Amino acid sequence: MNARDVLVVGLGIHGASLAHELARRGVSVLAVDAGSVPNHGGSTTGRTRITREAYYEHPSYVPLVQRATELWLELEELTGTVLLRRTGGLMVGPAEGELVRGTLVSSRAHDLPYELLDGAAIRQRFPALHPPEGAVGVYEPNAGVLLLDACMRTLLEQAQAHGALIRSHVRVDSWRADDDGVTLNTTDGALHAPRAVFTAGPWLNLLLAAEQSPSPLQLRLEVERQTAHWFAAAPGAIGLGADACPVTMLERDDGSMLYTLPDVGHGVKASFHHGGRIVEPDDVDRTIGAAEEERVRSGLEEWMPGAAHRVLDDGVCLYTNTPDRHFVIDAHTAHPNVTLVSACSGHGFKFGPALAEVVADLSLEGTAAFDISLFRAERVLGDRTAIRTRP
C-alpha cells in the first residue's frame, strides 16, 4: 500500500495545477489518471483557451482570474516558456444581453479597464470583424490566449521537479474514507493518504459512485459534448492573427454564443459555448458531423468574413455542467478529508493555478483565502437526472 500526504484523482488542468501547488509547498502528493497524462479525452483539450478578467458569469470570479494570471506569468518567468498571449478581448451582443450586461457589471464592480464600443467603432478598431446590426461590444485589454499544451506540460514538469508522483492509466475501481484517511482501490493496487482531492472532470459522478457506501454522494452534473474547429483564412484575409485580432465572444440573436481565438499558429479557432448534446463520458462520439462543422463555419463567416475558408482541424471537448454553470469546490458532504473540484461548465481552464491555491488551502487547512461561497456542493446535491436547464 503506497502512502502519501494527498492523493489527487484526475489530471486535467485542475489536477495538474493542484499537483504542482501541493508539491511546491513540500506536500507529498500522488496524482493519478485513468487515461493518459495529460488526459485529452475530457475537458483539457483543444490547443488554446481564452482568459478574460471582465467575467460576465459573475463578479466573484474576477479576483480568482486575476490571481491566476499572476501565477501563469510567474510560471512563464520561472521556466522561460510562453504560456499566455495578450490579445485583448471583445464581448459583443445586445446591450441588454447576458454577455454585455454581465461583462459591464464585473468591470465596474472591480474597476477594470474597458471600452464600450458601438458597431462602427468595432469595425474601425478591428476591420476583420463584422458585428450584427445594433450590437455593442465591451473591449478589455487584459484578455488573451492561454497555450494549453505548454501550460499543461509546464505544470506537470514543475510538479514532478518538486517531488510529485504522477501516474497514468490508473483507474479507481472503488474507494472509502474514514478518520484514518482515504483508500483508493485501483488497477495499480491500493493507494492510501490522509486526504484526497477528486478532480475527475466528466468522470466525477462516476468516481463518487464508486465509494464503498450504500448511499454514495451524487451531484447534479451533466456532461455536454462540444466541438471545436480550426480554420485557414481565405487568401488576402488580414487582421486575424494574435497581433491584430482579440479573443471574442458573440451573443447572437437566438441567444447562442460563438467564441473565437485568433490565429496563433493553428488557424482561427471557433466554437459555440454550450448547446451540445448530453453524453456519458465513457461513450462519446468523437466524430465531427458535417452539420456541426457547417454551423460553426457559417457562424464564423458572418462574424469574421474570410476567416473560415478551409477547415484545418476539429475536436471534441467535454463540458461538465452544473445547473447554474458555476463551479463545485467543496469538501465531500460526508468526508471532510475528501475535497471535490469540478471547475467546470466550459470556463474553468484559465483558473487552474489560482484554484489550486484555493483547493490546497481548503484540503490542508479547511479554509480558503478567496470567497468560494458560490461554489458550495450543497446547491447541486441530488441525482443528476434532476438537473434543470439554466434560464
pLDDT digits 0-9 by tens, 91-136: 999 999 999 999 999 999 999 999 999 999 999 999 999 999 999 9
- Nearest Cα neighbor of 9 from 338, 375, 331 is 338
% of the chain at pLDDT higher than 70: 97
Other CB atoms within a 10 A radius of the CB of residue 78 amount to 10
Q: What is the pLDDT of residue 40?
A: 85
pLDDT at 61 over 80: yes
Buried b (16+ CB within 10 A) or exposed e, 264-274: beebbbbbbbb
What are the pLDDT digits (tens) for 26-60? 999 999 999 999 888 999 999 999 999 999 999 99
Q: What is the pLDDT of residue 387?
A: 38
Average pLDDT over residues 164-180: 98
Look-up of cell digits 434532476: 386
- Nearest Cα neighbor of 7 from 335, 339, 366, 353 is 339
C-alpha span between 254 and 63 (Å, rounded): 31
Average pLDDT over residues 150-167: 98
Q: What is the pLDDT of residue 138?
A: 98
Average pLDDT over residues 321-348: 96
Q: What is the pLDDT of residue 389?
A: 34
Average pLDDT over residues 71-77: 98
Average pLDDT over residues 139-155: 98
Q: What is the pLDDT of residue 1?
A: 40
Q: What is the pLDDT of residue 390?
A: 29
pLDDT at 391 over 50: no
Average pLDDT over residues 269-283: 97
At 386, the pLDDT band (50, 70, 90 cuts) reads very low
C-alpha span between 234 and 225 (Å, rounded): 29
- Nearest Cα neighbor of 139 from 119, 113, 120 is 113
- Whole-number mean pLDDT of the chain? 95
Q: What is the pTM of this model?
A: 0.95
Q: What is the pLDDT of residue 198?
A: 98
At 277, the pLDDT band (50, 70, 90 cuts) reads very high
C-alpha span between 122 and 131 (Å, rounded): 7
201: its cell numbers: 472532470
3-state helix, strand, coil in the chain (%, to 5): 30, 30, 40
What are the pLDDT digits (tens) for 337-382? 999 999 789 999 999 999 999 999 999 999 999 999 999 999 999 8
